[in-house]
Structure 1
Amino acid sequence: MTRVVVVDDQALVRQGISGLLEVAEIDVVGEADDGQAALDTIAATAPDVVLLDVRMPRYDGIWTLERLRESGSAVPVLVLTTFDDDAAVLDALRAGARGYLLKDVTLEQLTRAVRTLAEGGTLIAPTITDRLLRAIRSGPPPPGADAPVEDLTERELEVLRLMAEGCSNREISEILFLAEGTVKNRVSTILLKLGARDRTNAVLRALHEGILR
């Protein structure tokens, strides 16, 4: 079973999400009500995915993401937010979140998102708004944007587009009829050429540079 930590400052929301995930056979191994508690819980439970609220008192979601990045943690984080939090979501993606969902999603959408991140995928393109796209292209460049961008091959662009759609390496290999190891190598090359530290940052950089439209 996929192991999840749920982070939200509202106990009722936290308990509701946890209960629904358990029904869907996703193992909730911990809960936290702010960023510091989240870091402690993540360290103690080693989850496959973290569900993280952005707006929390004291230590919020962005602070938590930045601390996870500084510690070298590779745990994928799915941000849960409200409709009008585009700026916060963009900050979260730049801080290392692997995707986001609105809090009014269905249980099916939530469980699919959790499993996608657990398998190495991202969730950006399916739900990203026009405002977010404009903010990415007109706002400050993502981390690593001072590095030169090398040209991507046509096959690397195909892989990058599927990364932006949230596909995991396994899904990309099935779509493009490539070995999963080959896809992993191509993803590594894409990160190197874009000067990106991870898949999410690579997609943000590609959007900012106009490589993805």
Structure 2
Amino acid sequence: MKSLYSNKDTATTDKVLFIDCDHCLTSEMKNKLLAGVANKEVIIEKSYPNNVNDVRYIFILIEETKQISIDCLESLLIKRGKEKHTYTLLMTVDSPSKKLLSYFNHNLDGIISLKSFLKGVPHVLKTLDEFGVFLEQNLHSDLIVDIQRKKMKDHPIKQLVLRVEDVENILTRNEKKVLQYILDGHNNRKIAELMFLAPSTVSTVISHLLKKLGANDRTDAMVQIIRRGWVDAVR
């Protein structure tokens, strides 16, 4: 692997490799990279080199909207291993979308746009050295949501519980009980048995309940109260 572009007037401390298999970099972009990474040796390759032992930072450049870029990325990720003391990041020409978060499963150390990198090269590299990861600012909240979703997936909902305090001045005692039984999945006959009421009485309570909630049926009633935040999910 040879250095295609490097700064000769400064001392080289680490090598920075940009893999541009889809020819995303223009001459202007290359010049900006050289200027931004002033104290490093910059290498630009079209494919993944056989030997990257002497490289500290690897950025795989893609244009997310182009399928050929995505295909190139996936091919590179399959070929590469996880080199010690080397950070590998996905770099996008434009602002990265949350779809790219799934590529963290391929031992990536971060995702960043070319623009963000050029705006704060020292900060990006320092963050990688200190914490071993760097993520584009606009993806932080998406990552948190994704982690929470995966966490909750392992903890199924055991019961939907009506927040009684939220409907204290809206529903009657019987309406609250019936609504909870509906959340538990019981039909009218079972609700009548549990409440020691006649089925016709339960039907009347449900009619009043639907009218208050502005719901068309039992299912719509459940949707309405969940949307209003009147239900807690017990896991």
Q: TM-score, normalised by structure 2?
A: 0.45
Q: Which has the higher contact order (CA 8 A, sep 6+)?
A: 1
Please say which structure displays the higher CA radius of gyration: 2
